[in-house]
Protein backbone atom coordinates (compact mmCIF):
# COMPACT_ATOMS: atom_id res chain seq x y z
CA UNK A 1 0.00 0.00 0.00
CA UNK A 2 1.35 3.44 -0.93
CA UNK A 3 2.29 5.59 2.05
CA UNK A 4 -0.20 8.36 1.30
CA UNK A 5 -3.03 5.85 0.90
CA UNK A 6 -1.96 4.15 4.12
CA UNK A 7 -2.03 7.41 6.08
CA UNK A 8 -5.49 8.23 4.75
CA UNK A 9 -6.61 4.70 5.57
CA UNK A 10 -5.33 5.09 9.12
CA UNK A 11 -7.27 8.32 9.53
CA UNK A 12 -10.40 6.64 8.21
CA UNK A 13 -10.02 3.78 10.71
CA UNK A 14 -9.60 6.22 13.59
CA UNK A 15 -12.65 8.23 12.46
CA UNK A 16 -14.76 5.12 12.80
CA UNK A 17 -13.74 4.49 16.42
CA UNK A 18 -15.21 6.26 19.44
CA UNK A 19 -12.93 4.46 21.88
CA UNK A 20 -9.15 4.06 21.83
CA UNK A 21 -7.89 1.28 19.58
CA UNK A 22 -4.52 -0.39 20.05
CA UNK A 23 -1.65 -0.03 17.63
CA UNK A 24 -1.67 -3.80 17.13
CA UNK A 25 -5.30 -3.75 15.98
CA UNK A 26 -4.71 -0.82 13.63
CA UNK A 27 -1.57 -2.40 12.21
CA UNK A 28 -3.44 -5.66 11.57
CA UNK A 29 -6.24 -3.90 9.68
CA UNK A 30 -3.76 -1.98 7.53
CA UNK A 31 -1.49 -4.97 7.02
CA UNK A 32 1.64 -3.24 8.34
CA UNK A 33 4.03 -3.77 11.23
CA UNK A 34 3.57 -2.09 14.61
CA UNK A 35 6.76 -0.13 13.96
CA UNK A 36 5.33 1.27 10.72
CA UNK A 37 2.08 2.09 12.50
CA UNK A 38 3.89 4.08 15.18
CA UNK A 39 5.77 6.03 12.49
CA UNK A 40 2.49 6.79 10.71
CA UNK A 41 0.87 7.98 13.94
CA UNK A 42 3.84 10.28 14.55
CA UNK A 43 3.67 11.63 10.98
CA UNK A 44 -0.06 12.39 11.17
CA UNK A 45 0.35 14.03 14.57
CA UNK A 46 3.17 16.19 13.22
CA UNK A 47 0.89 17.31 10.38
CA UNK A 48 -1.77 18.40 12.84
CA UNK A 49 -4.06 15.40 13.17
CA UNK A 50 -5.64 15.49 16.67
CA UNK A 51 -4.64 11.95 17.64
CA UNK A 52 -4.43 11.14 21.34
CA UNK A 53 -3.00 8.07 23.01
CA UNK A 54 0.19 6.15 23.42
CA UNK A 55 1.73 2.75 22.87
CA UNK A 56 0.07 0.06 24.97
CA UNK A 57 -3.07 2.10 25.69
CA UNK A 58 -4.47 2.81 22.25
CA UNK A 59 -5.22 5.78 20.04
CA UNK A 60 -8.29 7.88 19.36
CA UNK A 61 -8.97 10.77 16.96
CA UNK A 62 -10.28 13.78 18.86
CA UNK A 63 -13.03 15.91 17.30
CA UNK A 64 -11.56 18.81 15.44
CA UNK A 65 -10.82 20.20 12.02
CA UNK A 66 -7.86 18.39 10.53
CA UNK A 67 -8.88 18.02 6.90
CA UNK A 68 -10.15 21.26 5.35
CA UNK A 69 -13.86 21.24 4.46
CA UNK A 70 -14.73 20.62 0.85
CA UNK A 71 -15.78 23.86 -0.77
CA UNK A 72 -18.87 22.58 -2.58
CA UNK A 73 -22.04 24.51 -3.23
CA UNK A 74 -25.48 22.89 -2.79
CA UNK A 75 -25.77 21.80 -6.44
CA UNK A 76 -22.32 20.23 -6.44
CA UNK A 77 -23.12 18.37 -3.22
CA UNK A 78 -26.39 17.13 -4.73
CA UNK A 79 -24.58 15.85 -7.82
CA UNK A 80 -21.96 13.94 -5.83
CA UNK A 81 -24.48 12.45 -3.39
CA UNK A 82 -26.86 11.45 -6.20
CA UNK A 83 -24.07 9.76 -8.13
CA UNK A 84 -22.74 7.85 -5.13
CA UNK A 85 -26.20 6.69 -4.06
CA UNK A 86 -26.97 5.59 -7.61
CA UNK A 87 -23.77 3.52 -7.64
CA UNK A 88 -24.64 2.11 -4.20
CA UNK A 89 -27.98 0.90 -5.58
CA UNK A 90 -26.88 -0.35 -9.00
CA UNK A 91 -23.20 -1.20 -8.70
CA UNK A 92 -21.81 -4.62 -7.93
CA UNK A 93 -20.69 -5.52 -4.40
CA UNK A 94 -17.28 -3.87 -4.80
CA UNK A 95 -18.62 -0.59 -6.19
CA UNK A 96 -21.54 -0.45 -3.76
CA UNK A 97 -19.16 -0.77 -0.82
CA UNK A 98 -16.81 1.81 -2.34
CA UNK A 99 -19.70 4.25 -2.87
CA UNK A 100 -20.76 3.99 0.77
CA UNK A 101 -17.19 4.51 1.95
CA UNK A 102 -16.74 7.49 -0.37
CA UNK A 103 -20.01 9.05 0.81
CA UNK A 104 -18.86 8.73 4.42
CA UNK A 105 -15.56 10.42 3.57
CA UNK A 106 -17.30 13.24 1.71
CA UNK A 107 -19.70 13.75 4.59
CA UNK A 108 -16.81 13.92 7.07
CA UNK A 109 -15.20 16.92 5.34
CA UNK A 110 -18.20 18.86 4.04
CA UNK A 111 -18.68 22.35 5.34
CA UNK A 112 -21.54 22.77 7.86
CA UNK A 113 -23.65 24.58 5.24
CA UNK A 114 -23.36 21.66 2.81
CA UNK A 115 -24.33 19.07 5.43
CA UNK A 116 -28.01 19.95 4.98
CA UNK A 117 -27.87 18.99 1.30
CA UNK A 118 -26.28 15.69 2.31
CA UNK A 119 -28.91 14.88 4.94
CA UNK A 120 -31.93 16.05 2.95
CA UNK A 121 -31.15 15.83 -0.78
CA UNK A 122 -33.44 17.33 -3.39
CA UNK A 123 -32.51 14.69 -6.00
CA UNK A 124 -32.90 10.97 -5.30
CA UNK A 125 -31.68 8.04 -7.44
CA UNK A 126 -35.09 6.36 -7.64
CA UNK A 127 -36.36 3.14 -6.07
CA UNK A 128 -33.65 0.82 -4.83
CA UNK A 129 -33.51 -2.93 -4.99
CA UNK A 130 -32.70 -3.18 -8.69
CA UNK A 131 -32.39 -6.82 -9.74
CA UNK A 132 -29.92 -7.70 -12.46
CA UNK A 133 -29.62 -11.03 -14.27
CA UNK A 134 -27.23 -13.31 -12.45
CA UNK A 135 -23.66 -13.54 -13.76
CA UNK A 136 -21.92 -16.85 -14.30
CA UNK A 137 -18.53 -15.09 -14.33
CA UNK A 138 -17.92 -12.75 -11.41
CA UNK A 139 -17.49 -9.08 -12.19
CA UNK A 140 -14.46 -9.16 -9.89
CA UNK A 141 -12.74 -11.46 -12.43
CA UNK A 142 -13.67 -9.21 -15.37
CA UNK A 143 -12.56 -6.08 -13.51
CA UNK A 144 -9.17 -7.67 -12.74
CA UNK A 145 -8.67 -8.55 -16.41
CA UNK A 146 -9.52 -4.98 -17.44
CA UNK A 147 -7.01 -3.51 -15.01
CA UNK A 148 -4.34 -6.00 -16.10
CA UNK A 149 -5.10 -5.32 -19.80
CA UNK A 150 -5.38 -9.08 -20.28
CA UNK A 151 -7.12 -10.84 -23.14
CA UNK A 152 -10.09 -13.04 -22.30
CA UNK A 153 -11.43 -16.11 -24.02
CA UNK A 154 -15.17 -16.02 -23.40
CA UNK A 155 -18.10 -18.29 -24.20
CA UNK A 156 -20.94 -15.94 -25.08
CA UNK A 157 -24.67 -16.66 -25.42
CA UNK A 158 -26.86 -14.56 -27.67
CA UNK A 159 -30.50 -13.72 -26.91
CA UNK A 160 -31.62 -17.05 -28.43
CA UNK A 161 -29.19 -19.06 -26.31
CA UNK A 162 -26.75 -19.90 -29.14
CA UNK A 163 -23.13 -19.97 -27.94
CA UNK A 164 -19.95 -18.76 -29.57
CA UNK A 165 -16.35 -18.53 -28.37
CA UNK A 166 -14.61 -15.17 -28.59
CA UNK A 167 -11.20 -13.75 -27.87
CA UNK A 168 -11.73 -10.24 -26.54
CA UNK A 169 -9.69 -7.35 -25.15
CA UNK A 170 -11.75 -6.04 -22.21
CA UNK A 171 -11.62 -2.27 -21.73
CA UNK A 172 -14.50 -1.29 -19.41
CA UNK A 173 -17.62 -2.37 -17.56
CA UNK A 174 -20.90 -0.56 -18.10
CA UNK A 175 -23.82 -0.37 -15.68
CA UNK A 176 -27.17 0.19 -17.39
CA UNK A 177 -30.57 0.08 -15.72
CA UNK A 178 -31.44 -3.33 -17.12
CA UNK A 179 -28.07 -5.09 -17.37
CA UNK A 180 -24.33 -4.90 -16.88
CA UNK A 181 -22.10 -5.05 -19.93
CA UNK A 182 -18.48 -5.60 -20.90
CA UNK A 183 -16.99 -3.32 -23.55
CA UNK A 184 -14.21 -4.98 -25.51
CA UNK A 185 -12.35 -5.34 -28.80
CA UNK A 186 -13.45 -8.65 -30.33
CA UNK A 187 -10.77 -10.46 -32.33
CA UNK A 188 -13.44 -12.65 -33.97
CA UNK A 189 -15.41 -9.69 -35.33
CA UNK A 190 -12.36 -7.40 -35.66
CA UNK A 191 -14.42 -4.63 -34.11
CA UNK A 192 -15.48 -3.20 -30.76
CA UNK A 193 -18.41 -5.05 -29.23
CA UNK A 194 -20.50 -4.83 -26.07
CA UNK A 195 -21.32 -8.08 -24.22
CA UNK A 196 -23.96 -8.51 -21.52
CA UNK A 197 -22.14 -9.95 -18.53
CA UNK A 198 -25.01 -12.30 -17.67
CA UNK A 199 -24.60 -13.93 -21.10
CA UNK A 200 -20.90 -14.67 -20.60
CA UNK A 201 -21.10 -18.38 -19.77
CA UNK A 202 -17.37 -18.83 -19.09
CA UNK A 203 -14.16 -16.82 -19.27
CA UNK A 204 -10.44 -17.58 -19.13
CA UNK A 205 -7.67 -15.03 -18.76
CA UNK A 206 -4.91 -14.96 -21.36
CA UNK A 207 -1.83 -12.88 -22.16
CA UNK A 208 -1.69 -9.10 -22.04
CA UNK A 209 -3.12 -7.41 -25.11
CA UNK A 210 -1.04 -4.85 -27.07
CA UNK A 211 -1.46 -1.13 -26.69
CA UNK A 212 -2.89 0.93 -23.85
CA UNK A 213 -6.40 0.50 -22.45
CA UNK A 214 -6.93 4.27 -22.37
CA UNK A 215 -6.27 4.49 -26.11
CA UNK A 216 -8.61 1.57 -26.83
CA UNK A 217 -11.33 3.13 -24.71
CA UNK A 218 -10.99 6.39 -26.63
CA UNK A 219 -11.30 4.46 -29.92
CA UNK A 220 -14.35 2.60 -28.62
CA UNK A 221 -16.06 5.86 -27.71
CA UNK A 222 -15.34 7.27 -31.15
CA UNK A 223 -16.57 4.08 -32.86
CA UNK A 224 -19.83 4.17 -30.91
CA UNK A 225 -20.25 7.93 -31.33
CA UNK A 226 -20.19 7.84 -27.52
CA UNK A 227 -22.55 10.29 -25.88
CA UNK A 228 -22.76 8.89 -22.37
CA UNK A 229 -25.07 5.99 -23.27
CA UNK A 230 -23.95 2.37 -23.49
CA UNK A 231 -24.25 0.73 -26.90
CA UNK A 232 -26.57 -2.29 -27.29
CA UNK A 233 -25.01 -5.71 -26.60
CA UNK A 234 -23.57 -7.78 -29.44
CA UNK A 235 -26.32 -9.94 -30.94
CA UNK A 236 -24.09 -12.20 -33.03
Residue ranges with strand state E in the chain: 51-54, 58-61, 150-157, 163-175, 180-186, 191-196, 200-208
Closest CA to 206 of 165, 148, 156, 164: 148
Lowest mean pLDDT among 48-57, 139-148, 196-205: 48-57
Q: Which residues pair with 220 in a beta bridge?
A: none
Whether 129 shows a pLDDT value over 70: the answer reads no
pLDDT at 206: 96
158 lies in some domain = yes
Domain count, the chain: 3
Q: Kindly give, in sequence order, each residue whose CB lies less than 8 Å from that of residue 220, ignoring residues fewer than 6 positions away.
A: 171, 172, 183, 185, 192, 226
Tell me the per-residue pLDDT of 18-46, one tens digit each, with 9 for 90 and over. 788 898 999 998 889 989 999 999 988 88
Higher pLDDT, 236 or 215: 215
pLDDT for position 3? 77
Q: Specify the DSSP element, H or E, that contains 221.
A: helix 213-223
Residue 199 has a pLDDT of 94
What's this model's pTM, rounded to 2 decimal places? 0.58
Task: Name the percent of the chain lying above pLDDT 90.
Answer: 27
Same domain, 32 and 11: yes
State whether 155 and 219 are in the same domain: yes
Q: Considering only 7-11, 44-48, 68-72, which range has the smallest mean pLDDT? A: 68-72
- Pick from 97-106, 201-210, 224-233: least confident: 224-233
Residue 128 pLDDT grade (very low, low, confident, very high; cuts 50, 70, 90): low
124 lies in some domain: no
Indicate whether 66 belongs to any domain: no
Q: Is 69 inside any structural domain?
A: no
Backbone angles phi, psi at 190, to 5 degrees: 50, 45
Residue 31, Cβ neighbours under 10 Å: how many?
10
Q: Report the pLDDT value the prediction gives residue 216, as an integer from 0 to 100.
A: 92
CATH of the domain at 169: 2.30.30
Same domain, 7 and 54: yes
- The answer to whether the CB of 77 falls within 8 A of the CB of 55 is no
Q: How confident is the model at residue 130 (pLDDT cuts 50, 70, 90)?
A: low
What is the model's pLDDT at position 54? Answer: 74
The total number of residues written for the chain in this structure: 236
Q: Are 195 and 234 in contact (CB under 8 A)?
A: yes
Look at residues 68, 79, 169 and name the one whose alpha carbon lies nearest to residue 118: 79
Residue 172, pLDDT > 70, answer yes
> Is-contact 167 203, C-beta < 8 A?
no
Kindly tell me if the per-residue pLDDT of 2 is higher than 70. no
Range of the domain at 96: 74-119
User: What is the Cβ-side half-sphere exposure of residue 104, based on CA atoms within 13 angstroms?
Assistant: 13
Q: How far apart are CA 57 and CA 21, in angstroms?
A: 8
Amino acid sequence: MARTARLLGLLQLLRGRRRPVTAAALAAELGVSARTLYRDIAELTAQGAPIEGEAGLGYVLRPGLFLPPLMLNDDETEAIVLGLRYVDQRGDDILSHAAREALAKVGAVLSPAAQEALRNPVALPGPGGARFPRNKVELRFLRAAIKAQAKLTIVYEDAAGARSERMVWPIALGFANEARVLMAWCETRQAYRTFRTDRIAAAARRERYPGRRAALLAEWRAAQAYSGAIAPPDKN
